């Protein structure tokens, strides 16, 4: 794409071309599908499916970049090769200059990238239509995209975590990084250095309330990319590891072909949740590796760069090769909190046929295993809220899907001590002032003049209740 953003009045053209233009999708193999919904985003839908595709097959949505078309991505990316080899259907959404002067997906427009709106809703409607056409498995719908398509992929993963089981972001941006043309440029060239929690909050805010299950995410980035700075891959990693509740230290790293380093971040069950593929020396584009080898794919072109077959590794990450590292058992149902104490939480759930044991996860990390349908988690802090899920484990040791989460709050309260001047106590909400004097919140104890010179130690003995304890507060 030559530009990522609308050529609106006053918008400055980006330096350098991004992706070359292509004719409308019309090559043999692609089929245009009309009437797939209300199509509020004014997109076109193209599909590819192998002959005799079985019912219940997976589905992959592939998003092109600016000035590209569905046919361009179909012809160069290598995805059709793996659709034939592994047996899944493909959807190629296509935008146009009617939506964006450079035929970019409007990833930076909230009205096009948010749940139930514009282009995002059109793509969701394409998924529904494709599942109906091919009898697909709604639990195995994935999305991938390049450049502006990668940025839109990140937003769709955030907006529709209940639709997409996984996604792959190639030379893209963190979800919800930009909401205007000007911030789009900032994200591309100098991405904001937000904390992992801030990035994660953007995803959680875009998703349906109460979402507890998140898509697995692969991130592809060239180290010599001057259009989408490589720092974006770091911010993407921070965002999605935070969403998953896992650390930023890789579970393992691996050297691949094409000068590529793979960093894997496992979930609490030891399965890859986030993968980062860093391609040394690669500029802006999608990694392909033309050839007839089992791990090769695609064809070179403008911004299709001969390094490594990203589609092959992404397909394996999605489990499309049939070698999924998730168990086949369903998620346990009726997970409930059966009791709490100051330091423990007791849980119970319905049995799963075929399960030999169950793994209990707290905050996404495994904390225990049991062969029964109940578990008590101990050694917890008082007055603290914890989130739990449970996964059934089969006789091979493979864990199935995790249950919907429940939250439990331990009883009691852990006292805390706070030493500060009266002014700072009031600013922090531990005290209040009236007529120039300060009083402890909750107890109302007098603390003297409201200023920065009078210092006291307050002990919090209950939520919102403080007492003066200058004699040696202990908690």
**Of 296, 352, 308, the residue nearest 220 (C-alpha):** 308
Q: Decide if 298 contacts 289 (C-beta within 8 A).
A: yes
- In the beta sheet, which residues pair with residue 274? 217, 265
CA atoms of 166 and 217, how far apart (whole Å)? 6
Please name the residue ranges forming H helices in 321-433. Answer: 422-427
3-state secondary structure 145-186: EECHHHHHHHHHHHHCCCCCCEEEEECCCCCCCCCCHHHHHH
| Burial 308-346, CB ≥16 within 10 A → b, else e | bbbbbbbbbbbbbeeeeebbebebbeebeeeebeeeebb
CA 379 to chain centre: 31
Alpha-carbon gap, residue 339 to 347, rounded angstroms = 7
Distance CA 456, CA 466 (A): 11
Q: Is 261 exposed, middle or buried (0-12, 13-18, 19+ CB in 10 A)?
A: middle
- Ramachandran assignment for 174, one of left (phi > 0), alpha (psi -120 to 50 degrees), beta (any other): beta
Counting beta carbons within 10 angstroms of the beta carbon of residue 394, is it exposed (0 to 12), middle (13 to 18) or buried (19 or more)?
Answer: middle
Q: 206, 283, 189: which is closest to 240 by C-alpha?
A: 206
Structure tokens at 48: 């590819």
Active site residues: 147
Length of the chain: 475
Question: What angle do the packed helices 196-206 and 148-159 form, to 10 degrees?
Answer: 70
SS3 content of the chain, % helix, strand, coil (to 5): 20, 30, 50
Beta bridge partners of 170: 146, 220
Radius of gyration (C-alpha) of the chain in whole angstroms: 26
How far, CA to CA in Å, does 19 sit from each of 13, 47, 310, 444? 14, 22, 17, 66
Q: Provide the β-strand partners of residue 260.
A: 256, 279
Backbone angles phi and psi of 29, in degrees to 5: 110, -35
């Amino acid at each position: 794409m030559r530009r990522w953003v609308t050529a609106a009045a006053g918008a400055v053209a980006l330096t350098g071309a991004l992706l070359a233009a292509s004719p409308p999708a019309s090559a043999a193999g692609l089929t245009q599908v009309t009437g797939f919904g209300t199509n509020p985003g004014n997109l076109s839908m193209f599909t590819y499916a192998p002959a005799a595709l079985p019912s219940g097959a997976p589905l992959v949505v592939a998003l092109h970049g600016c000035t590209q078309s569905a046919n361009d991505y179909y012809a160069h990316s290598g995805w059709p090769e793996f659709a034939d080899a592994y047996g899944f259907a493909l959807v190629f959404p296509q935008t146009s200059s009617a939506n964006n002067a450079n035929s970019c997906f409007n990833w930076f427009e909230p009205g096009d990238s948010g749940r139930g709106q514009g282009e995002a809703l059109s793509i969701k409607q394409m998924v529904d239509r494709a599942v109906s056409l091919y009898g697909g498995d709604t639990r195995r719908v994935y999305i991938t995209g390049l450049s502006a398509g990668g940025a839109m992929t990140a937003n769709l993963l955030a907006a529709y975590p209940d639709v997409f089981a996984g996604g792959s972001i190639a030379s893209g941006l963190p979800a919800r990084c930009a909401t205007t043309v000007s911030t789009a440029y900032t994200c591309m060239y100098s991405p904001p250095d937000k904390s992992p929690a801030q990035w994660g909050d953007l995803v959680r805010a875009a998703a349906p309330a109460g979402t507890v299950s998140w898509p697995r995410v692969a991130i592809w980035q060239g180290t010599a990319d001057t259009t989408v700075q490589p720092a974006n891959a770091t911010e993407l990693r921070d965002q999605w590891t935070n969403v998953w509740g896992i650390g930023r230290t890789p579970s393992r790293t691996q050297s691949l072909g094409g000068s590529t380093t793979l960093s894997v971040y496992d979930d609490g069950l030891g399965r890859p949740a986030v993968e980062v593929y860093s391609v040394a020396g690669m500029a802006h584009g999608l990694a392909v590796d033309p050839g007839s080898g089992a791990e090769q794919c695609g064809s070179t072109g403008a911004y299709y760069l001969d390094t490594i077959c990203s589609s092959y590794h992404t397909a394996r990450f999605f489990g499309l090769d049939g070698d999924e590292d998730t168990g086949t058992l369903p998620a346990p149902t009726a997970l409930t909190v059966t009791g709490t104490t100051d330091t423990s939480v007791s849980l119970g759930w319905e049995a799963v046929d075929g399960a030999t044991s169950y793994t209990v996860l707290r905050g996404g990390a495994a904390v225990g295993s049991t062969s029964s349908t109940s578990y008590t988690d101990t050694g917890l802090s008082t007055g603290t809220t914890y989130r739990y899920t449970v996964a059934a484990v089969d006789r091979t040791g493979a864990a199935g899907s995790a249950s919907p989460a429940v939250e439990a709050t331990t009883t009691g309260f852990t006292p805390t001590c706070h030493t500060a001047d009266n002014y700072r106590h009031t600013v922090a909400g531990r005290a209040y002032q009236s007529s120039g004097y300060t009083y402890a919140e909750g107890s109302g104890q007098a603390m003297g003049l409201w200023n920065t010179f009078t210092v006291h130690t307050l002990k919090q003995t209950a939520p919102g209740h403080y007492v003066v304890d200058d004699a040696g507060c202990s908690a």
